Structure 1
Amino acid sequence: MGASYHQFCPVAKAMELLDERWTLLIVRELVAGSCRFNDLRRGLPRMSPTLLSKRLQQLASAGVVERRPADGEVQYRLTPAGRELRPIVEAVGAWGVRWVGELGDADLDPKLLLWDMHRNIDHAAVPSGRTVVALSFPDVPAPHPRSWWLVIADGEADVCDEDPGHEVTVSLTAELRALVEVWRGDRTWAEVLRTGRLRVHGPEAVRRALPGWFTLSLFASVPRPPAAVPA
């Protein structure tokens, strides 16, 4: 745990654990369903594996996370104490959407976007068989990958930054910021399509159905505050 605030206040005691850098984001990933170390890394692509291991150990020592052997590997699961953090994570996220809306270019990460998209798919809405969504972000600076693929089949989805070699069902070409704004609920699919910041290529029926394949971010439905009225 971090340095003590030396206060008896329960907020202070909780924050001795939770305000360590990355800690609450690890809890966010566990709440979202990640349980394997590599999956946690994909949801936290800019966190070092060493620091992730350290934070998981701290959470386990605090009784928030437990390690379980499963299928020949270690999985990380929230304990009852950890599961009580779900509404806190959701409340912090909702507050962030409402009051900290500004996104810098450094906040835009295609790897994190695709990882979040892959776990928010309405599999009942996706065509049967294998469905491949190819995404291209021409504005992403090198050396970061500009091309990504979502492979959806049998109720599961995988994210690839190399061509998996399957026939593509539908293709998207987008400004990264535009698709992030759609995913966060800041813009609608229709809005960014009209502006040309997002283009969809494929059969018309598939293009029309595509938005319904995704349930969007957990925070996309958070009501935004009314625009400030000039004095």
Structure 2
Amino acid sequence: MDQRAGYGQFCPVSMASEILCSRWTTLVVRELLCGSSRFNDLRRGLPKMSPSLLSKRLKELQQAGVIVTRPNENGTLEYRLSEAGEELRPLIIGLGEWAQRWMESRLSLKNLDPSLLMWDMRRSLVVALLPERRSTIQFVYSEVPLQQRNWWLVVDRGSVDLCSFDPGYELDLLVESSLRSMTSVWMGLTTIKDEVDSGQLRLEGDPALTYAMPQWLGLSIFAKVSRRVQ
């Protein structure tokens, strides 16, 4: 790995921090660990990061030996974690588990982002528990600006597409919720049943899809971490 100017200490923690502690870098690694490999997919998982800064961080990670690049069959450049990058997996997951365990829920729900929530939900759906036919599920977050209010997940033949515009298919399930409530469910801070019972979440459509939602929705990988603070 290249050593760059930084803290000027021989301590390995210092050397690792020079690579990983610049703004957004750990989140770029998080997205790569979650399976994103194309630039546009990385952007969808980092919606508030500018494309120019993302390019810069990817270049830095490549220079540090954390990622490698290669063209796919279409000639599009893809980013993959190297062996060194893969070794970061328990460290990145450990950071998330620490925050889930020790940070107050009101702080973890401070920065809500519908595009990030939906992208996370899209890649964690348990497709095997959904019907073999095409299923279209609409999420409506009534309190957010109009351009980010409506989202559709379309599951068809094992693939999941996320749309921010009406795909034109017959709707199988409508999910109406506040963004805070759905994020709380996703993070394991509450349950679908609790939010429905409190009137914060409404489900309308296919009874089988509705009943099985707690199973096929999937949750954040940190949802099962026991919390020490509320």
TM-score normalised to structure 2 length: 0.94
In structure 2, the CA distance between the partners of 1:106 and 1:185, relative to structure 1 (3 Å rule), is: closer
Partner of 1:74: 77
**Larger RCO (alpha carbons 8 Å, 6+ apart):** 2
- Equivalent of 1:164, from 163, 167, 175? 167
Q: Which amino acid aligns with 2:46?
A: L
Q: Verify: 1:113 aligned to 2:117, yes or no.
A: yes
How many residue pairs align between the two structures?
Answer: 226
Question: Are the counterparts in 1 of residues 152 and 163 from structure 2 also a CA contact under 8 Å?
Answer: yes
Instruction: Determine the C-alpha separation between the residues in 2 that align with 1:27 and 1:184.
Output: 20
Question: Are the counterparts in 1 of residues 130 and 209 from structure 2 also a CA contact under 8 Å?
Answer: no
- Equivalent of 1:63, from 27, 51, 65? 65
Gaps of 5+ in 2: none
Instruction: Determine the C-alpha separation between the residues in 1 that align with 2:160 and 2:212.
Output: 18
The answer to which of 208-217 and 23-32 deviates more is 208-217
The answer to which of 203-212 and 97-106 deviates more is 97-106
For residues 23-38 of structure 1, what are the structure 2 equivalents within 5 Å?
23-38=25-40
In structure 2, the CA distance between the partners of 1:93 and 1:12, relative to structure 1 (3 Å rule), is: same
Question: Are the counterparts in 1 of residues 102 and 229 from structure 2 also a CA contact under 8 Å?
Answer: no
Question: Are the counterparts in 2 of residues 138 and 173 from structure 1 also a CA contact under 8 Å?
Answer: yes
Partner of 2:139: 135
Instruction: Determine the C-alpha separation between the residues in 2 that align with 1:149 and 1:209.
Output: 18
Moved over 6 A (4+): none
1:203 is displaced (CA, Å) by: 2.9
Instruction: Determine the C-alpha separation between the residues in 2 that align with 1:2 and 1:113.
Output: 35
Instruction: Determine the C-alpha separation between the residues in 2 that align with 1:205 and 1:55.
Output: 44
Q: Which amino acid aligns with 2:34?
A: A
1:119 alignment partner, SS class: helix
Q: Verify: 1:89 aligned to 2:97, yes or no.
A: no
Gaps of 5+ in 1: none
1:143-163 per-position Cα deviation (integer Å, ceiling 9, x unaligned): 542011001111111111100
For residues 149-188 of structure 1, what are the structure 2 equivalents within 5 Å?
149-188=152-191
Question: Are the counterparts in 1 of residues 109 and 184 from structure 2 also a CA contact under 8 Å?
Answer: no
Identity of aligned residues (%): 46
TM-score normalised to structure 1 length: 0.94
Instruction: Determine the C-alpha separation between the residues in 1 that align with 2:4 and 2:50.
Output: 18
Instruction: Determine the C-alpha separation between the residues in 2 that align with 1:217 and 1:100.
Output: 16
* RMSD across aligned positions (CA): 1.5
Question: Are the counterparts in 1 of residues 152 and 166 from structure 2 also a CA contact under 8 Å?
Answer: yes
1:115 is displaced (CA, Å) by: 0.2
